[in-house]
Amino acid sequence: MKVLFVTSEVAGLYKRGGLADVSYSLPVALEKRGIHVAIAMPYYQSIKGHSVSCIGQLAIDYDRRRELMFIFETRLPGTDVPVYLFRHPLLHEYDGPDIVERFGFFAKAVAQLYLYSSGLLGGPYDIVHCNDWHTALVPLLLGEASKVGYRERETIESRTTRTILTVHNLLYQGEAGSSITLKLGFPKTLFHAFMTPLGRAVRLLTEGFEYADMVTTVSPTYAQEIMKGMHGKRVREVFHRRGDKIVGILNGIDTNLWSPSDDAALPVQYTHATVVSAKQKIKEQLQSAVRLPQVNVPLFGFVGRFESRQKGLDLIARAVKTLPPETYQIVLLGTGQKKLVGEFQKLSEMHENISYVNTFDERLARRIYAGSDIMLVPSKFEPCGLTQMIAMRYGTLPLVRKTGGLADSVRDGLTGFVFGPYSTAALVTKMQEAISVYAKQPRKFSTMMKNAMKEDFSWSHQVQEYINLYRKLF
């Protein structure tokens, strides 16, 4: 079985969020199971310091011009997994104007190279596995290209190739004006355009839902939420029309990269046998590093993007004003939207028990995972979430809202704390419960810590679900 994994970000090369972690750890786990896997991604200018070689070039018709794309090959850092990097000025930066159209161009390049000379990419492959809106046009371009005379040859490799699209977050759908279809050189009729106040538009993610042989998402609960229409009626409608439903497979984490027993960022390493005393030391060092007083109250941690739609930071901002400051401390790490950043900077200046660090610093993140007692993940929605899994691996109890992958990975009262409604009151009540277990039932708290550390969030089980799915497609 051979799989080409197409993605916009991969940890070790270019990372923005959880997608990059999964785009690293899933291919590595597949490779360990004997699946031949390679990765295709854009060659951003910031990808530097890796040994790469140019293996070919490709002409692509785009926006009525002929564009030349260079293909480079490297290895996934620390592994033997091949990575094919697509180099073109339109793909030098990830962010910037016309982002949706630029990723449409990337998808066209992947599909065209695959159709004309998949050997260059180490193919042909049995499965082309795409991720999120950035790569969601690949199934359309691979599958429909032949029917619209885009390719003349009779033997079409894509017919023996199956496509999978995994959605990591429905919040981002890749919406563009319908002129993108002209730029790509494909008939409008292939796309499911709709009206917006600014004119006709298409969404790359939903085109992927229409055309991929199989659509998956990153937890069973998020899949159910999608089928219930909780993340948009239009999306649910596509699956009804397909007579199909979206499959949910919980993500894993790379337990070699996240391992308290040999994490060099920590002042002491530990296992579940030594967690209680080790944590105490790490917590004290963390408190002084982030300028929190050295007192014995539970320390809450938050590591993540500072954005207002998903992560529940609005609830945190209100909750911290409600709880008595002498009963707990909180340390937050991450960058993002100006308004939220400003709000937490102010909170941190005004309250002795609140510390906000406005950077992204992986070493500090690791010390927060290990040195906090409780990790806050009160997301409004969360397709999977990796922080709660990392926290449990480090013996830190996650306090999460019951949604998506958080609901599938944290057990209330056993491995963490789970609350229901998205409200400040519900969060405050759960935080009070956690504070009280910490203060009044230390034995229960440390049993929960050990339970959490014993949970297995490695890919070892979950990867088999992907392999079964790949097989099911033939």
Binding residues for ligand GLC, rule: CB under 6 A, are: 17-19, 22, 168-169, 218, 251, 382-386, 405
Measured from the CB of residue 66, what is the shortest distance to ligand GLC in angstroms?
35
Choice between 115 and 386, CB closer to ligand GLC: 386
Q: How far is the CB of 183 from ligand GLC (least distance, A)?
A: 28
Dist. CA 381–CA 231, nearest whole Å? 9
C-beta of 186 vs 457, nearer to ligand GLC: 457
Nearest to 340 by CA among 308, 378, 377, 302: 308
CA 299 to chain centre: 26
Taking the least distance from each CB to ligand GLC, the nearer of 42 and 383 is 383
Query: Which structure tokens are listed for 235?
Result: 């999306």
Interhelix angle 220-227/233-242, nearest 10 degrees: 90
Q: Which is nearer to ligand GLC, 260 or 385 (CB)?
A: 385
Residue nearest to ligand GLC (CB): 18
User: Minimum distance from CB of 284 to ligand GLC (Å)?
Assistant: 31
Q: Is the dihedral of CA 165, 168, 171, 173 positive or negative?
A: negative
**C-beta of 320 vs 399, nearer to ligand GLC:** 399
DSSP 140-194: HHHHHTTTTTS---SS-GGGG-EEEEEES-TT---EEETTHHHHHT--GGGS--E
Between residues 176 and 407, which has the closer beta carbon with respect to ligand GLC? 407
Give whichever of 87 and 311 is closer to ligand GLC, judged by the CB atom: 311
Nearest residue (CB) to ligand GLC, 15 versus 351: 15
CA nearest 302: which of 381, 380, 363, 355?
Answer: 355
Find, among 276, 270, 304, the residue nearest to 387 by Cα.
304
Residue 16 CB, shortest distance to ligand GLC, in Å, is 9
Q: Extract the tokens encoding 167.
A: 């959605």
> What is the strand order of the sheet 199-203 is part of?
175-177, 199-203, 194-196
- Cβ(384)–Cβ(404) under 8 Å? yes
345 within 8 A of 450, measured Cβ to Cβ: no
Q: Can you read off the two tokens belonging to residue 208?
A: 């992927």
Nearest residue (CB) to ligand GLC, 284 versus 465: 465
Q: Where are the beta strands (DSSP E) in 242-363?
A: 247-248, 299-303, 329-333, 354-357
Task: For the CB of residue 405, give the shortest distance to ligand GLC in the complex, in Å.
Answer: 6
What's the CA angle centered on 430, arms 426 and 434, to 5 degrees?
170
Would you say 222 or 328 has its CB closer to ligand GLC? 222
The token pair at 40 is 């295709």
- Residue 447 phi/psi, 5-degree rounding, is -65, -45
Which residue has 């097989």 as its token pair?
Answer: 471
In the bound complex, what is the minimum distance in angstroms from residue 128's beta carbon to ligand GLC?
18
Q: What is the rounded CA–CA span in Å between residue 158 and residue 298?
A: 55
CB of 237 to ligand GLC, least distance (A): 23
Residue 20 CB, nearest approach to ligand GLC (Å): 9
Nearest to 257 by CA among 444, 380, 471, 78: 78
